[in-house]
Amino acid sequence: MSAEMQSYIDEAEQALLHTYNRYQVVFDKGEGVYLYDMDGKRYLDFVSGIAVFALGYHNTEYNDALKAQIDKIIHTSNYYYNAPAIEAAKKLKEISGMDRVFFTNSGAEAIEGAIKTARKYGYLKDGRTDHEIIAMNHSFHGRTMGALSVTGNPHYRDAFEPMIGNIRFANLNDFDSVMAQVTDKTCAILFETVQGEGGIYPATEEFMRKVRTLCDERDILMILDEIQCGMGRTGEMFAWQRYGIKPDVMTTAKALGCGVPVGAFLMTEKVGQNSLAAGDHGTTYGGNPLACAAICKVIELFEKQKVLANVREVGAYLEKRLDELAAEFSCVETRRGVGLLQGLVFNRPVGDIITEAMEKGLVLINAGTSIIRFVPSLVIQKEHVDDMIAILRECIR
């Protein structure tokens, strides 16, 4: 490591709040599916900013669209209309099949909005303020207080109790556990269509259909968190579209802006007409022209570059290669996941493997202590998968 890069790391340790245990590298630029540190070393990136940079680094059309918007206007506030937000909402409705959009700055903010939507929906039905939300164990929805409250991992919550009240927890893919938590106060059932941080667990079609039926019968909102698994990562624009089981409310972020901080929560017209109204919710930066110009270009490039077809093809190949690796090493228990959201489950902690991979020029991330998570750019090719497997095999050995 050069003295310059080390000096930046030393300065960061003095200036930044220590809420991350960062890897000892300062990334300087990106090109395609590769990152480069300040010393010019190249890294094959299988993290993509935690499922954010779906189109890869230095996509010229994406960059040019942002530069053009910067030269026009970056921010106005939501007291006024702006054309990029209107266009982005239209495009987002088209790819999701939802009816109403609220733009946020992050996934956690989208979850906060979804929680408020559910509470207001319940309140307008009966005037009560004691409605309950059922969330899932081992889930992860963000770090703000509302998002933490529905995150089913006590490790994240313990130091910050009390959370917001009236949250119950069930188990993903265990419908009986959901039914055990349902009361006459239940206003929403919330879960990730594919659990990411909790271990790469996809919701099954049977579970989703049963939850959808329950919600229809009892006028409960089905809320799907698509922040990590959405925007093409499973081979569909949103993971629930694999089964055609439409939620009442959904959240999205991460690859929605491909690097620009932006998220959204969306809802059906019925929910839109019976929940949040003027004065109920707001955000200064949400839906600003720059962020929405990014959304417009991302959705356009997904279609132009046939991203979904690539995810299906390369995702199947990644599954095959990871399955081969799992069969080769006794320390690997299994692989699970969908498309380009995959996890390799080990019978021991994986931190040392990830660190060694970084030294060898491969960027990986974990999902819990014993799972390596693979969330590369959605434009990755089979040869990149082969290169990753070769390095990872060496690190496991």
How high does pLDDT run on average in the chain? 96
* Listed residues 242, 269, 304: the one ending a domain: 304
Q: Is 111 helix (H, G, I), strand (E, B) or coil?
A: helix
pLDDT value, residue 368? 87
pLDDT value, residue 377? 98
Q: Are residues 250 and 348 in the same domain?
A: no
- Enumerate residues 6+ apart whose C-beta is below 8 A from 316: none
pLDDT value, residue 197? 87
Q: Are residues 218 and 327 in the same domain?
A: no
pLDDT value, residue 1? 87
Q: Are residues 41 and 103 in the same domain?
A: no
Q: How far apart are CA 307 and CA 330, in angstroms?
A: 34
pLDDT tens string 160-202: 999 999 999 999 999 999 999 999 999 999 999 999 988 899 9
Percent residues over pLDDT 70 in the chain:
100
* Listed residues 272, 304, 336: the one ending a domain: 304
- Mean pLDDT for the stretch of residues 265-288: 96
Q: Across the chain, how many H-helices and E-strands are there?
A: 14, 17
pLDDT value, residue 224? 98
Above 90 in pLDDT, residue 354? yes
Here the CATH number for the domain that contains residue 20 is 3.90.1150.10
- Mean pLDDT for the stretch of residues 302-310: 98
- Mean pLDDT for the stretch of residues 310-339: 97
How many domains are there within the chain? 2
- Mean pLDDT for the stretch of residues 365-373: 94
pLDDT value, residue 108? 97
Q: Are residues 23 and 71 in the same domain?
A: no
Domain extent for 316: 3-55+306-396
Q: Are residues 175 and 288 in the same domain?
A: yes
Q: Are residues 146 and 214 in the same domain?
A: yes
Count CA atoms closer than 13 A to 44's CA, side-chain side. Answer: 19
- Mean pLDDT for the stretch of residues 205-216: 98
pLDDT value, residue 383? 98
